[in-house]
C-alpha cells in the first residue's frame, strides 16, 4: 500500500451532493477587515463546499478538520466574541467584530433544501456488500427497481486505511416523501415488515443570512457568514429557547442554512482541538490519566469512522450529542483531559492484520461482559469488537462461553462478580445491577403500538454473547409481536439501561433484573477506569477491549 502523508490523504466519496445555490450580492461593509496573519483552517474557496461535502478535510498543520453542529433549526442565533474577529459573509465584504459585543444572525428570503426520499431496502458496510445480494434479488422478484448508493469514503493516512463506506439499496420512486411512506406501508401489509426511508439532497437551501449589531445590520451573506473564533466565543439560540448554549467555543463559526431553511451554527475545528472538549464530555475528567488516554484514542477513532456517514442532508459531519459523541466546547476543558489528548496526539486504533481503522465504539458500563458488534448492529462480525468477560483473568474463565444461556445469565446477574466496572471507584452502583418493575397497565401502555392487546408474557428468544436481548416476543390476548434489536427492545420498555436482563413475575407485575448501562460493545468506560485504577496503562486497556487491534499514530 502506498504511504500517504496526512496532507495528501486520498478521499473517495460517492453520494448525491446538492447543486450550489446562485451567488448573491452582499451589502456594503461597515468596516473593511484586515486579513488575519494565519487562518485557523485550510478552507476551500467556497466554505459551503466544506460544510456540505461530508468528506475528510484538513486544518492548517495537517490534522483532520471536523465540522460539528452546535445548533440548528433556529430562527435567530446570537454570539459574542471575546476578541476582535473578522466576519466573512459569503459573497460580501469582510467586517470587523468588536470584542465583547453581541451580534444577532437571522435569515431572509429563504428557500429550504430540496430533498429526495426513497424506500430504504437495506444497507451494509461496503466490505459486507455481498450480504445485500439476497436482499436485492428478493426485492427485484417482488417487482421493485433496485438502485444503490455509496456513502462514506476510503482514504489512507501514513500507511493506514480508513474505510467507512456503506452500500445502500433503495427502490426507485418519484422521490417524494409520501411515495416512500406509502411503499413502507404496502411492504408491511404484503410482507410483514416496513421498509425504511433514505433521503438525499437534490438542491441545497438558499437565502440571505444577515448579521445585526447594536445599530442594525452590519453584514449580509449568501447562505452563510463565518468568522475565526480561535480566541473564543459564546453562542445562544433565539430568545426564549429552552436549551440556551452558554458554552465557550473556539474554532471557526459558520452560521448557515440547514435543510429546513432555518439557521444552523456549525463549528469548524481541528480534530485535536475538538477532542479537548469531547473527552471531558464523555468521561469524568477526574478519571485516572490512563483511562483518559484510552478515551482520547477511542474518541479520535470514532470521529474518523463517522466522517461522511451521518447527517448527509445537513451542513455538518457530526452533531454535538451522544448520537455522534457529546461535545460541550472549551467550557469543559481540563488540564487532565488536555494532557490525555496531547499525550495520544494523532493516535487511533487499527486492525493489526489489515491495518484498517477500528470504529472504536464504547459504552458507559458493560455490566461485567461485553457484547459482539453484530449482535447490536446489522453488520459483519468485527474481530476487534468481540464481547468477552470484563473480569480479572482469575475469574473470567468461568464465563468464557458467554451468557446466551438464560440460566448462566441469571447466575451472573445474581452473583454480580467483581468486574472491572464494578471495581471502579466512583462508578454508579445502581447501573452495575438494576431492577425495573412494571404493572400490567404500564406494560400494556408501553407496547400499545404492537396491537397485541393485554400483555400476558414477555419472552426473550435470542440473546447475544453477553446475554443482552436480541429478540423479544410480546405475547398478548390479541396475538404475538416480535421485537428485534437491543436498542428497540430497550426503548420499548421505557428506555432500559441495557438489554442485559431477565424477566420475572411478581404477582401480576413484570420484574426485570438486569445489569449494565449501554450496548456493551467495545470499551467499557467505567471498566477502563477500574483497570487504570489497578495500574493498567492505556494501551493494555485498549487491547483488552479491542482484540487484535493496535494503537498507531497517523499524524
Q: Write the DSSP assignment of 272-320 as a string of letters.
A: HHHHHHHHHHHS-TTS-HHHHHHHHHHHHHHHHHHTTTS-TTTT-SB-S
| 178 and 257 housed in the same domain | no
Query: Partners of 458 in the beta sheet?
Result: 474
**Model pLDDT, residue 38:** 36
| 49 and 198 housed in the same domain | no
Q: How far apart are CA 385 and CA 387, in angstroms?
A: 7
**Model pLDDT, residue 57:** 87
| 411 and 509 housed in the same domain | yes
**Structure confidence by residue, pLDDT tens digits, 79-137:** 999 999 999 999 999 999 999 999 999 999 999 999 999 999 999 888 889 889 999 99
For residue 358, being part of any structural domain is answered with no
| 412 and 317 housed in the same domain | no
| 432 and 297 housed in the same domain | no
| 142 and 175 housed in the same domain | yes
**Measured CA distances, 232 to 160, 267, 410, 528 (Å):** 34, 12, 52, 32
Q: How far apart are CA 94 and CA 33, in angstroms?
A: 5
Q: What is the DSSP letter of 112?
A: P
Sign of CA pseudo-dihedral 446, 452, 453, 457: negative
**Residue 549 burial by Cβ neighbours in a 10 Å radius (0-12, 13-18, 19+):** buried
C-alpha 181: how far from chain center: 25
| 148 and 248 housed in the same domain | no
Cell of 317: 459531519
**Structure confidence by residue, pLDDT tens digits, 453-512:** 999 999 999 999 999 999 999 999 999 999 999 999 999 999 999 999 999 999 999 999
- Split at pLDDT 50, 70, 90, the class of 44 is low
**Model pLDDT, residue 546:** 97
- Split at pLDDT 50, 70, 90, the class of 172 is very high
**Model pLDDT, residue 290:** 98
How many domains does the chain fold into?
Answer: 3
pLDDT above 50 for 291 = yes
- Split at pLDDT 50, 70, 90, the class of 353 is confident
pLDDT above 50 for 24 = no
**Model pLDDT, residue 523:** 98
pLDDT above 70 for 40 = no
For residue 361, being part of any structural domain is answered with no
**Model pLDDT, residue 239:** 57
For residue 50, being part of any structural domain is answered with yes
Any idea which residue has 502523508 for its cell? 5
Phi, psi for residue 475 in degrees, rounded to 5: -100, 125
**Model pLDDT, residue 34:** 35
**Structure confidence by residue, pLDDT tens digits, 205-233:** 999 999 999 999 999 999 999 999 999 99
For residue 546, being part of any structural domain is answered with no
**Structure confidence by residue, pLDDT tens digits, 419-430:** 999 999 999 989
| 213 and 92 housed in the same domain | yes
**Model pLDDT, residue 43:** 55
Q: Residue 447: which of 486, 475, 484 has the closest Cα?
A: 475
> Average pLDDT, stretch 169-192?
94
Q: How does the average pLDDT of the chain come out, rounded? A: 89
Provide, rounded to the nearest whole percent, the portion of the chain with pLDDT above 70. 90
| 387 and 517 housed in the same domain | yes
pLDDT above 70 for 12 = no
For residue 514, being part of any structural domain is answered with yes
Among 161, 187, 203, identify where a domain stops. Answer: 203
Q: How far apart are CA 530 and CA 283, in angstroms?
A: 13
Among 176, 203, 230, identify where a domain stops. Answer: 203
For residue 229, being part of any structural domain is answered with yes
Among 203, 226, 259, identify where a domain stops. Answer: 203
Cell of 223: 447562505
pLDDT above 80 for 52 = yes
Q: Comparing 382 with 15, which gets the higher pLDDT?
A: 382
> Average pLDDT, stretch 50-59?
90
| 146 and 247 housed in the same domain | no
| 133 and 33 housed in the same domain | no
* Structural domain containing residue 509: 369-522
For residue 541, being part of any structural domain is answered with no
Cβ atoms of 277 and 265 within 8 Å: the answer is: no
**Structure confidence by residue, pLDDT tens digits, 517-553:** 999 999 999 999 999 999 999 999 999 999 999 999 9
Q: Residue 169: which of 190, 191, 193, 138 has the closest Cα?
A: 138
For residue 529, being part of any structural domain is answered with no
| 389 and 485 housed in the same domain | yes
Amino acid at each position: 500500500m502506498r504511504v500517504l502523508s496526512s496532507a495528501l490523504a486520498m478521499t473517495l466519496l460517492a453520494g448525491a451532493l446538492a447543486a450550489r445555490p446562485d451567488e448573491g450580492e452582499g451589502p456594503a461593509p461597515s468596516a473593511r477587515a484586515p486579513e488575519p496573519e494565519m487562518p485557523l483552517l485550510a478552507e476551500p474557496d467556497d466554505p459551503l463546499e466544506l460544510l456540505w461535502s461530508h468528506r475528510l478535510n484538513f486544518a492548517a498543520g495537517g490534522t483532520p478538520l471536523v465540522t460539528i453542529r452546535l445548533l440548528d433549526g433556529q430562527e435567530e442565533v446570537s454570539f459574542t466574541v471575546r476578541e476582535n474577529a473578522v466576519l466573512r459573509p459569503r459573497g460580501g465584504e469582510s467586517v470587523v467584530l468588536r470584542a465583547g459585543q453581541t451580534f444577532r444572525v437571522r435569515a431572509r428570503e429563504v428557500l429550504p433544501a430540496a430533498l429526495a426520499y426513497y424506500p430504504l431496502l437495506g444497507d451494509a458496510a461496503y466490505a459486507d456488500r455481498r450480504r445485500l445480494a439476497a436482499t436485492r434479488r428478493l426485492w427485484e422478484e417482488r417487482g421493485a427497481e433496485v438502485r444503490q448508493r455509496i456513502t462514506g469514503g476510503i482514504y489512507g493516512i501514513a500507511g493506514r486505511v480508513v474505510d467507512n463506506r456503506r452500500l445502500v439499496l433503495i427502490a426507485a420512486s418519484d422521490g417524494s416523501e409520501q411515495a416512500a411512506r406509502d411503499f413502507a406501508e404496502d411492504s408491511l401489509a404484503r410482507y410483514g415488515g416496513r421498509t425504511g426511508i433514505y433521503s438525499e439532497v437534490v438542491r441545497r437551501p438558499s437565502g440571505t443570512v444577515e448579521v445585526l449589531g447594536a445599530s442594525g445590520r452590519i453584514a449580509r451573506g449568501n447562505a452563510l457568514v463565518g468568522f475565526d473564533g480561535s480566541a473564543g466565543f459564546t453562542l445562544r439560540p433565539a430568545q426564549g429557547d429552552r436549551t440556551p448554549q452558554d458554552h465557550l467555543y473556539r474554532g471557526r463559526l459558520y452560521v448557515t442554512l440547514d435543510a429546513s431553511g432555518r439557521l444552523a451554527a456549525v463549528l469548524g475545528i481541528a480534530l485535536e482541538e475538538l477532542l479537548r472538549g469531547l473527552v471531558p464530555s464523555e468521561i469524568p475528567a477526574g478519571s485516572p490519566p490512563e483511562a483518559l488516554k484510552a478515551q482520547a484514542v477511542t474518541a479520535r477513532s470514532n470521529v474518523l469512522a463517522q466522517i461522511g456517514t451521518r447527517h448527509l442532508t445537513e451542513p455538518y459531519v457530526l452533531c454535538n450529542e451522544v448520537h455522534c459523541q457529546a461535545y460541550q466546547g472549551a467550557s469543559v476543558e481540563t488540564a487532565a483531559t488536555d494532557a490525555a489528548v496531547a499525550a495520544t496526539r494523532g493516535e487511533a486504533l487499527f486492525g493489526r492484520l489489515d491495518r484498517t481503522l477500528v470504529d472504536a465504539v464504547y459504552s458507559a458500563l458493560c455490566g461485567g461482559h461485553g457484547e459482539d458488534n453484530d449482535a447490536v448492529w446489522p453488520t459483519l462480525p468485527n474481530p476487534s469488537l468481540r464481547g468477552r468477560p470484563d473480569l480479572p483473568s482469575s475469574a473470567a474463565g468461568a464465563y468464557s462461553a458467554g451468557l446466551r444461556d438464560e440460566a448462566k445469565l441469571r447466575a451472573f446477574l445474581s452473583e454480580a462478580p467483581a468486574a472491572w466496572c464494578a471495581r471502579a471507584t466512583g462508578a454508579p452502583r445502581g447501573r452495575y445491577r438494576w431492577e425495573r418493575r412494571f404493572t400490567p397497565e404500564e406494560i400494556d401502555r408501553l407496547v400499545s403500538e404492537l396491537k397485541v392487546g393485554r400483555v400476558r408474557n414477555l419472552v426473550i428468544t435470542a440473546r447475544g454473547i453477553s446475554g443482552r436481548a436480541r429478540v423479544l416476543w410480546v405475547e398478548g390476548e390479541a396475538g404475538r409481536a416480535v421485537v428485534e434489536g437491543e436498542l428497540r427492545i430497550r426503548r420499548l420498555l421505557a428506555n432500559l439501561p441495557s438489554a442485559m436482563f431477565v424477566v420475572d413475575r411478581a404477582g401480576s407485575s413484570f420484574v426485570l433484573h438486569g445489569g449494565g448501562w449501554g450496548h456493551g460493545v467495545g470499551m467499557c468506560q467505567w471498566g477502563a477506569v477500574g483497570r487504570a485504577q489497578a495500574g493498567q496503562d492505556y494501551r493494555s486497556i485498549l487491547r483488552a477491549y479491542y482484540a487484535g487491534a493496535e494503537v498507531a499514530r497517523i499524524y
